[in-house]
Amino acid sequence: MTATFSDIAAAIARACDIVIATHIRPDGDCLGSALALARHIERLGGKRVRIWNAEADTAKFHYLPGWEKIETPLDAGGDGRLRDYATTPTTADGADKRDIVASGVAASSESKESVPSRSRVVGGSRVVVFPDAPSGAESCDLAIALDTSTRKRLGKTWECIADVPTILNIDHHGDNSVDGTLNYIDPTAPATGQIIYEFFQETGVSIDPEMATCLFAAISTDTGSFQYRGTDKRTFLAAAALVEAGVDVAALSIAMYDSQSKRQFDLLRFALNETRFLCDDRFAYFALSLADATALGIQHDDTEGIVDRLRAVDSVVCAAFFEEQPDGCVRVSMRSKDLAVNVSQICHAFGGGGHPLAAGARARGPLAEIVEQFSQAICHAISQRNH
Ligand SMILES: [Mn+2]
């Protein structure tokens, strides 16, 4: 069902135990939006609210007030470990029995414990009991997915919230397919942070400096610092109101944009050397093999933003970054400057998606083959554009 802001407010008002779910490869938009919304819910009082992300390391978002509250879904203890969540076959009586298997060196006696089916009836209504609950009494009656266009993008978090009675899906991706109980999708918003800001504004929520900082960061990071298409008067009005509410723009901007590691700089230097141009310099791409990533000592998320550098060349209409993954997949990240070259459509053909001018996919196959397949599709789209 399509939701209005008052539906969202009512769903939050009704709920007692709320989980905010954010996507894998988290960005400033999903985490900033989640933290601002969580703070609002906390201020309402009488509710429990948690923010979940399936990836353990969100420390680079330390500039978002409250970032340390972000948890991995099966690790509410906050020790930073990400646990694998293995599903065992359904039992004869239909109950779904699951094991939690701790991964890595920290595996201990608790590493394999049976947990009951997560869905049960409490006080006449169905709630979900999470397997991480020490007493088994922990429950959740509202899950809010933010900035996430597909269930898959939530990673393991989706498995944990799938049975929650009400799933509220708030996003700005036009191709959102999460299909929650309540859906608020606004593709005209350049960031989920702007939707959350407008929700606060229209439902009379006062925005404190911490919430303002989170939302400003969300909007700034998703609009390429107020540059991308979709950034309009509405965006600047939101930004102005957030600055008025207490954002320290200069300090926040340094934390967001002028704090890359030397390792990331080395990767950029390598990327600039290795970038290839095709299609009369209108398509630029950089392909990073696992061997080169290892040699450079690349860590999770170091590659963020590389593709944007390739787009900065004046002749380039479309830029792509290919990253070989340890699991045999290639992660593809694409940017376009022209709506006639719709990278979301191209990525869809390979099982991915996103926005018309910024999209991604994961394709299985050798790096060189994937590069070739995408390059053909992109060059075809670029050449069609001129006819
Ligand atoms: Mn976003």
- Same-domain check for residues 245 and 304: no
Digit-coded pLDDT (tens) for 68-97: 889 887 544 433 333 333 222 223 333 332
pLDDT value, residue 97: 28
DSSP assignment string, 54-79: SSS--GGGTTSTTGGGEE-TT-TT--
**C-alpha 171 – ligand 1 centre gap (Å):** 7
Q: Give the confidence band of 387 by pLDDT, cuts at 50, 70, 90.
A: low
* Number of structural domains in the chain: 2
**C-alpha 307 – ligand 1 centre gap (Å):** 17
Digit-coded pLDDT (tens) for 110-140: 333 333 334 444 444 445 555 444 332 357 8
When computed from its CA atoms, the radius of gyration of the chain, rounded to whole angstroms, is 21
Nearest partner of 318 among 380, 266, 364, 256, judged by Cα: 380
**C-alpha 173 – ligand 1 centre gap (Å):** 7
The DSSP output letter for 117 is: -
- Same-domain check for residues 247 and 330: no
**C-alpha 191 – ligand 1 centre gap (Å):** 5
Nearest partner of 229 among 320, 147, 337, judged by Cα: 337
List the domain range (segments joined by +) for residue 152. 5-77+120-252
- Same-domain check for residues 170 and 297: no
**C-alpha 195 – ligand 1 centre gap (Å):** 10
Asked if residue 209 has pLDDT above 80, the reply is yes
Nearest partner of 142 among 181, 172, 190, 96, judged by Cα: 181
Rounded CA separation 19/73 (Å): 9
Let me know: does 201 contact 174? Beta carbons within 8 Å: no
Let me know: does 139 contact 17? Beta carbons within 8 Å: yes
**C-alpha 147 – ligand 1 centre gap (Å):** 5
**C-alpha 386 – ligand 1 centre gap (Å):** 30
Digit-coded pLDDT (tens) for 267-292: 999 999 999 999 999 999 999 999 99
Map tokens 């109950």 to a residue. 95
Nearest partner of 319 among 346, 288, 285, judged by Cα: 285
**C-alpha 295 – ligand 1 centre gap (Å):** 32
DSSP assignment string, 225-256: TTTSTT--HHHHHHHHHHHHTT--HHHHHHHH
Residue that is last in its domain, among 218, 252, 286: 252
DSSP assignment string, 280-349: TTTEEEEEE-HHHHHHHT--TTTTTTHHHHHHTSTT-SEEEEEEE-TTSEEEEEEEES-TTS-HHHHHHT
Residues 356-362 have a mean pLDDT of 93
**C-alpha 216 – ligand 1 centre gap (Å):** 13
**Contacts for 200-203 with beta carbons within 8 Å, 24 or more apart?**
200/36, 200/40, 201/241, 202/5, 203/5, 203/6, 203/8, 203/9
Segment of 31-40, 299-308, 353-362 carrying the highest mean pLDDT = 31-40
Q: Give the confidence band of 42 by pLDDT, cuts at 50, 70, 90.
A: very high
Rounded CA separation 300/292 (Å): 14
**C-alpha 336 – ligand 1 centre gap (Å):** 16
Nearest partner of 240 among 264, 257, 215, judged by Cα: 215
- Same-domain check for residues 266 and 171: no
Q: What are phi and psi of 334, to 5 degrees?
A: -130, 145
Residue that is last in its domain, among 224, 252, 280: 252
Nearest partner of 298 among 279, 273, 271, judged by Cα: 271
pLDDT value, residue 300: 75
% pLDDT > 70, the chain: 82
Q: Is 273 exposed, middle or buried (0-12, 13-18, 19+ CB in 10 A)?
A: exposed
> Residue 95 domain-assigned?
no
- Same-domain check for residues 247 and 268: no
Q: What proportions of the chain, in percent to the nearest 5, are helix, strand and coil?
A: 35, 20, 40
Residues 291-298 have a mean pLDDT of 95
Mean pLDDT (the chain) is 84
- Same-domain check for residues 186 and 332: no
> What is the value of pTM for the model shown?
0.77
**C-alpha 312 – ligand 1 centre gap (Å):** 21
**C-alpha 328 – ligand 1 centre gap (Å):** 27
Paired tokens of 222: 């998703």
Here the CATH number for the domain that contains residue 58 is 3.90.1640.10
Neighbour tally for 244: CB within 10 Å? 10
**C-alpha 377 – ligand 1 centre gap (Å):** 25
**C-alpha 253 – ligand 1 centre gap (Å):** 18
- Same-domain check for residues 134 and 203: yes
Residues 41-45 have a mean pLDDT of 96
- Same-domain check for residues 190 and 323: no
pLDDT value, residue 80: 33
Residue that is last in its domain, among 212, 231, 252: 252
Rounded to 5°, the CA angle 164-170-175 comes to 110
Give the CA distances from residue 235 to residues 61, 193, 209, 255, 303, in Å, rounded to whole numbers and listed in that order. Answer: 22, 10, 18, 21, 27
Rounded CA separation 17/31 (Å): 19
**C-alpha 39 – ligand 1 centre gap (Å):** 19
